[in-house]
Structure 1
């Protein structure tokens, strides 16, 4: 190997070493930022009330309900079917808010990931970090089709006949 070839190899090795050092530095910053985000999200919940203010759902940032609160009026002012819809509405809204909060918290890390080459760019065959971060956030919750509300007479009869005790509409 000639001295020119050795010099070129040293220069290429130095450039590769600098790239790897920069990549490792960025990965370390990402790791620290990810730990901070995980810790902050683990201590965070969202609280959502249903539109009729009969149901409150507290959910973690994964959108999983951790508490369901029904007001005392929920059993007086609602039917089981309506109450079920109110719970579903609040749970879905809490899941959406939790997802938004999580995406917002993870956004700076995703931006950092966009600024550096992905692992397969440096070492073919390695898993893609960019794909992994894209998979962290599933599609938002879809809303269920609400049932038609009871008319005033139907609702009065529901309570008068105590149908709510038998699980009927």
Structure 2
């Protein structure tokens, strides 16, 4: 190998090192931004109010109920109606949380989309883009989005959990 070829390899090696350093810098920025988004997501609360305004349900970013507020008038109904109203309001709050989570994830997926993908630099390496696509698909197909609104209308479903003789689910 002559000096000319060695110099060509050195130059190519140097350029590859710069590209890898750029990727690592971008990765570090993305990691920091992702940690910030995760921290922001843990603080998110979404509240929905029933159509009659008597019930308010608050959920966290994943749809877990964190608070239920009832106006005194809400208790002047049957337990079945109250249960259905609370459940429906909780589902509304969970849908709001799902939408908020998708909105908060958008900047992260935009960052990944702007970066060169790992296989572009290192043939055979795993794709970062495919990983983020999987995350987006999982977020869009959560059980909240696919919840069956008629579940509580099922004749086998008994809201009176205190009476085990009314339902086979508790015995």
TM-score with structure 2 setting the length: 0.74
Cα gap change, 1:27 to 1:52, in 2 (>3 Å) = same
2 CA distance for matches of 1:51 and 1:87? 11
Cα gap change, 1:100 to 1:39, in 2 (>3 Å) = same
How far apart are 1:51 and its partner, in Å?
1.7
Partner of 1:14: 14
> What's the CA shift string for 1:27-53, capped at 9, x where partnerless?
111111111111112122111112232
1 CA distance for matches of 2:134 and 2:89? 25
Contact in 2 for aligned 1:47/1:57 (Cα 8 Å): yes
Partner of 2:100: 101
Structure 1 unaligned segments of length 5 or more: list them: 149-162
> What's the CA shift string for 1:46-85, capped at 9, x where partnerless?
1111223232111111221111223322221x33332232
SS of the residue corresponding to residue 52 of structure 1 reads: coil
How many residues matched? 152
> Cα RMSD (Å) of the superposition?
2.6
TM-score with structure 1 setting the length: 0.75
Structure 2 unaligned segments of length 5 or more: list them: 154-159, 167-171
Contact in 2 for aligned 1:62/1:99 (Cα 8 Å): yes
Partner of 1:153: none
1 CA distance for matches of 2:125 and 2:79? 53
